Amino acid sequence: MARSAGVLLSITSLPSPYGIGTIGKEARQFADFLKESGQTIWQILPVGPTSYGDSPYQSFSTYAGNPYLIDLDTLKEEGLVTQEQLDSFDWGSDPGKVDYEKIYNSRFEVLKIAYQNYKTKDQRKFRSFKRRNGKWLKNYALYMAVKNSLGMVSWTEWPEDIKMRDEFALRRYERKLRSEMDFWRFVQFKFYEQWESFRAYVNGLGIKIMGDMPIYVAMDSADTWANPEIFQLYDDGDPIAVAGCPPDYFSETGQLWGNPLYDWDYLEQTDYEWWFERIKAASKLFDITRIDHFRAFASYYSIPYPAENAINGEWVVGPRIKFFRMMEEECGEFEIVAEDLGTLTPDVTELMEQTGYPGMKVLEFAFDSGEENDYLPHNYTENCVVYTGTHDNDTVMGWLETADPKDVEYARSYCKMADDEPFNWGLIRTAYESLADTAIVPLQDILGLGSEARMNTPSTTGSNWVWRMDPADLTDELANKLKSLSVESGRLED
């Protein structure tokens, strides 16, 4: 990757009149700000439809786009909804936070109005979209239609015939829910139509979109329901084992994610077809793909199901380099960033070296009581992406308030911060000046926000993924400051 700089911001965090950020006008305005700031990468979070808990890392589909990201003003301009209709819904009262309950209750009603009005329009583009995306789109549409008809319960609680995809049951539900299935296809049609326009605009400014691919899919997803053979499941659909992380410094009981684990032996027998189709789909959305929890390709943590915590898991060998060599043959070359955070065992280090993918460095991890570690910038190679923090960390200013004073003093000393230099800018400057080819900074850190702007606290629910930016914060002064830093650190040609 060429020496460059970028910003991490979830699309949901953008401003909009309808309670959550979308890929409409405000997204283009933010891309304009990035251009003015000398940034050439916009890193986003996963864009799949979210399930219970609103986490973008637990999606109903690895292919589908999030209906919340569809821009409603664009639908209005197309004559599919009216302003009066949009204003009649409650989108939440706090412009600084997403109220997911209100979004859930309002968004789909609007999309159904748009769908009904679209039926009177020219259907040729819609029919073409359905033909091009036949298999995954049909599975997703049927999954969502059945799910809605059964009160949104997980597919593991569906009647046995449709749960296990009995052929006669599939046909019966398809007939019964034909219109509902077409609605879910329409939603995806609009998402992809708008995404293509959004991406073209961003790319036209010389900015690449770095998308995020969770390595695992959700248990309650169209992917698991429609492809049970590729997962470690019993014949009744229950998981044999699930994903997570072992106990560590951050958690005495580890992290129990609950995602189904892949049956890598079966996948190898099928030449990893399912995975490669997924990667091709991601490459159509993003210019750079960040693969979350990359270490699981070397060895993954397997927790017997059911379990109350992650204590009794074990490490199991993953597909390793064979997977990536076959992937390159099948899919061609495209830019990948490997999320390699945490304790790295020799097999992970070896896989990183074999693939040549850039890994991640996080400055918030660098100053732990003055101990030498790989996150200190003098240990970097060029082939990495440096962050002040990620969506799973506290903001830099939040970290400043809670970190050991010795760590804070070490950070100030190491980064050679002047007494009058704001702490967040001292870390941003250090990231920019490092050897790392790419420097990415969360917008919250650029704005100097505290813990109230934290995006996610792992292993918690209820207050995550809600932060939204104030457009008034994106000033010309801020853009000029970032651009100057980009030029001075060789991340942008003057």
- Known catalytic residues are 292, 339, 392
- Per 3-state DSSP, what percentage of the chain is helix, strand, and coil (rounded to 5)? 45, 15, 40
DSSP 133: T
From the list 23, 53, 49, 85, the residue with the least C-alpha distance to 184 is: 49
Residues 6+ positions from 289 with CB-CB distance below 8 Å: 210, 211, 212, 213, 279, 282, 283, 334, 335, 336, 337
To which residue do tokens 């009649």 refer? Answer: 88
Radius of gyration over every alpha carbon of the chain, rounded to an integer in angstroms: 23
To which residue do tokens 């993954």 refer? Answer: 300
Contact (Cβ atoms closer than 8 angstroms) between residue 218 and residue 64: no
Contact (Cβ atoms closer than 8 angstroms) between residue 117 and residue 80: yes
Written as six digits, the tokens of 487 are: 């030029």
Residues forming a β-bridge with 211: 289
Measured at the CA of 234, the angle between CA 303 and CA 295, to 5 degrees, comes to: 35
**Nearest-angstrom CA–CA distance, 279 and 290:** 11
Written as six digits, the tokens of 50 are: 């979210």
Q: Omega into 306 within 30° of 0, i.e. cis?
A: yes
Contact (Cβ atoms closer than 8 angstroms) between residue 8 and residue 442: yes
**Nearest-angstrom CA–CA distance, 258 and 331:** 29
- State the virtual CA torsion across 480, 483, 485, 490 in degrees, nearest 10: -160
Written as six digits, the tokens of 326 are: 């076959």
From the list 433, 429, 366, 455, the residue with the least C-alpha distance to 403 is: 366
**Nearest-angstrom CA–CA distance, 7 and 202:** 13
One-letter amino acid at 477 equals: E
